[in-house]
Structure 1
Amino acid sequence: MKRRESPWMRLSIVLTPALLLLSSMAGAESLTPTKEGFAETADGVRIHYRLLGPGDAPTLWVGYPWTEGWDRIMQDLGSASRGTDVRRQLLETLTEKYQVLYVDYPRGTGQSTGPLPGDINPDTVAEDYVAVADAAGIDRFVAMGYSWGAGFGIHVASRTKRCAGLAIGGWPVLGAPYVEILEGSGAVSSGLPADTAAGQVMRSNTKFYAYIVADIGSGDWTEEDAVESMRDRAGLLYLYVGSEDVGVPSLNLTLPVAEPIIENKARLEAAGWQVDVIDGYDHMNLTLDAWVPSVLDFLEGKSW
């Protein structure tokens, strides 16, 4: 029996491609920068940034690992690409309600210059974040980050109140395996040619952790002091992790990541954090739909 096609069905067939096109156009419009430029740091590095989304909304700092520049580094290291679609999906989702300060970071990725010999250390990172915010005309921001980017956020927030909060994942705030990752990162970077972007950035990664281990050893910086310094931002501190997160074994970086977060969950929550452990995921397979809705729910109704 031949099915009769109603006028509404014909209209739907005509409208569906048009609606998809309009949706795509709206997404493209939301990712058109309202401002784009470079922040120049005190040591002469130029850090590329773009402002995306509504200018009257609170600002989220978004960089590592959700940039094309870092994606290229990971491909050079033999890791799978996150893909343009993943980055676009994340940015389109965030810019529905927030202004995004989208930054080619760390130094030496994307259009950002550097890294320089001896950088980057935690103080440099905090200064870089502030320099970019100044160049973009942003007063305060919530820093998003994952893995190394979460480490950036912790050290930025413990050094400047310009960082109004954190929405980070995949790295412990308390009990972080800094010594272990220093050893693993050093082994990875030593096997890379020094004249390649991947080699230079991974050496920066190793130096970053070397500075932290030295600071912890000397007592110049401790995780406990960092947590205490962020108490005034209680309610804007969010940490998530996959329950099976043991770092990146494929790069010989097997690390206790989920374990210390789970062990210190109650301590962090008492200090004003929300900590979410996402069952069944590890460091590399944590998809956007597993954590982005929770971050957005956490930020809903908050201002900074």
Structure 2
Amino acid sequence: MVPARFAPYPPEEAETMRRWGADPDLGPNLVNGLARSHRVIVADYESHRMAHPAPDTLTPRNVTADLLAIADAADAGSFAYYGYSWLALCGLQLAIRTDRLWALVMGGFPPLDGPYESMLAVTRAAHSMSTQSADVVPSPTADVEPGDWDSVPVQTNKAQTRQFVTLYEALQDFDDSAAEVQPGLPRLAFAGSDDLIDYGPAWGNVHVKIGEPLTTHKQELIDSGWDVHVLPGLDHIGAMRSSVVLPLLTDWLRKVG
């Protein structure tokens, strides 16, 4: 299961993504590449939640129910799951709640010492901005500097931002060091070594550390059954590009599946 967008982006939006260093062809490239050796279930869960926000009910348990419903609709009794960033943490929540996974891949979010507290602060700031600028039409950003997260405009509404506050609030008591997945589940975690997202005053001067905890706990994770890849020189956007992820997934799935 790949919860990614398969439909092409509009040309202007795709060009903006490229200026940010992102890969607008990520979904199609992953799906088409993985489909050479596996049946792929693709569902754009993030876009679904933006179109149909769940401001008070986007909890880990409900996310798991959503993902299992997608698998059911695809008639997949067991399946592997790959998610990046917040969709990676959804994969971990899925893995501790079901025995239907035969493999789990988490990209751009560490399975141990995850930034749940800092992401709650970021989502609360985004929600506050969305309530203040509900009637403001954002203008396109002409000059884009890849990695300048502080300049990212909030272009989501109150319900859309509130659902992520709800998710991270529900995860504040989650102890990822005690998370138990089914014994023997093949699992891979990866992130860029430079995956550190710094937000400025408008966002509460929050630092979201992703690459650092994966590096710090690499051996501990390996000892507990994870395969771990820290990708040198890559940040959050760079490590999610299809040119990086597809070879990593293909090689790993060949080994475990």
TM-score grouping bracket, smaller chain normalisation: 0.7 to 0.9
Within the alignment, does 1:184 sit opposite 2:111 as a pair? no
Separation of aligned partners in 2, 1:131 and 1:191: 33
> What per-residue deviation string (whole Å, max 9, x for no partner) do you get for residues 25-48 of structure 1?
xxxxxxxxxxxxxxxxxxxxxxxx
Distance change >3 Å, CA 190–CA 70, structure 1 → 2? farther
Separation of aligned partners in 2, 1:276 and 1:166: 14
**RMSD of the alignment, in Å?**
2.9
Structure 2 counterpart of 1:257: 210
Larger relative CO (CA 8 A, sep 6+): 1 or 2? 2
Structure 2 counterpart of 1:230: 181
Letter of the 2:62 partner, please give it. T
Q: Is the 8 A contact 1:240 1:291 kept in 2?
A: no
Structure 2 counterpart of 1:98: 38
> What per-residue deviation string (whole Å, max 9, x for no partner) do you get for residues 254-302 of structure 1?
3111111111111111111100000000101223222321221111053
When normalised by structure 2's length, the TM-score is 0.78
Structure 2 counterpart of 1:62: 2
Q: Which has the larger radius of gyration?
A: 1
Q: Is the 8 A contact 2:123 2:164 kept in 1?
A: yes
Within the alignment, does 1:204 sit opposite 2:154 as a pair? no
Of 220, 225, 231, 1:267 maps to 220
Structure 1 counterpart of 2:245: 291
Larger deviation, residues 197-206 vs 119-128: 197-206
Separation of aligned partners in 2, 1:131 and 1:197: 29
Separation of aligned partners in 2, 1:140 and 1:155: 16
Within the alignment, does 1:163 sit opposite 2:97 as a pair? no
Shift of 1:127: 0.9
Structure 2 counterpart of 1:246: 196
Separation of aligned partners in 2, 1:203 and 1:71: 25
Structure 2 counterpart of 1:279: 232
Q: What are structure 1's unaligned runs of at least 5 residues?
A: 1-60
Separation of aligned partners in 1, 2:236 and 2:169: 22
Q: Which has more strand, going by share of residues?
A: 1
Letter of the 1:260 partner, please give it. P
Separation of aligned partners in 1, 2:234 and 2:46: 26
Shift of 1:109: 4.2
Structure 2 counterpart of 1:35: none
Of 105, 113, 125, 1:175 maps to 113
Q: What are structure 2's unaligned runs of at least 5 residues?
A: 136-153
Q: Is the 8 A contact 1:108 1:201 kept in 2?
A: no
Of 60, 68, 88, 1:122 maps to 60
Q: Is the 8 A contact 2:56 2:163 kept in 1?
A: yes
Structure 1 counterpart of 2:73: 135
When normalised by structure 1's length, the TM-score is 0.66
Shift of 1:87: 2.4
Separation of aligned partners in 2, 1:238 and 1:295: 9
Q: Is the 8 A contact 1:170 1:257 kept in 2?
A: yes
Distance change >3 Å, CA 254–CA 275, structure 1 → 2? same
Larger deviation, residues 238-247 vs 115-124: 115-124
Shift of 1:107: 6.7
Separation of aligned partners in 2, 1:69 and 1:81: 19
Separation of aligned partners in 2, 1:138 and 1:180: 35
Distance change >3 Å, CA 141–CA 247, structure 1 → 2? farther
Aligned residues: 226
Distance change >3 Å, CA 208–CA 144, structure 1 → 2? same
